[in-house]
Structure 1
């Protein structure tokens, strides 16, 4: 199926979970903020949140500094 990932059309497996997408992108263990269709998805729901065709996904990396 196709989703829109950070503004780019991207093919992913049907019924992929957010946790699976993050692992495929090699972003596991990083501090991230994730929105799907302009709604924040809490990290605690990544493993249960299934993506649907044409979902608009934005993944933002948290950058620390001081």
Structure 2
């Protein structure tokens, strides 16, 4: 399936968010939004993606 990940069109095999993140190699601390809506970490395993979804994966940045 084709999704947009951090602005880049990407092909993924998985449909559940937790599996897509693993497939794409995301590890550690980060926040995720699908189509601009924040997804709590507790929902990663239940959240499914559909063709064309926009996925934003954001890492924390130190500073202020």
Matched, 1:26 2:36: no
Counterpart for residue 4 of structure 1 = 4
* In structure 2, distance between residues paired with 1:8 and 1:27: 15
* In structure 1, distance between residues paired with 2:20 and 2:10: 11
Superposition RMSD in Å: 1.6
Task: Point out 4+ residue stretches in structure 1 off by more than 3 angstroms.
Answer: none
Unaligned runs of 5+ in 2: none
Counterpart for residue 46 of structure 1 = 44
Q: Is the 8 A contact 2:12 2:23 kept in 1?
A: no
The aligned length equals 64
TM-score by length of 2: 0.86
TM-score by length of 1: 0.84
Q: Secondary structure at the match of 2:42?
A: helix
Matched, 1:55 2:53: yes
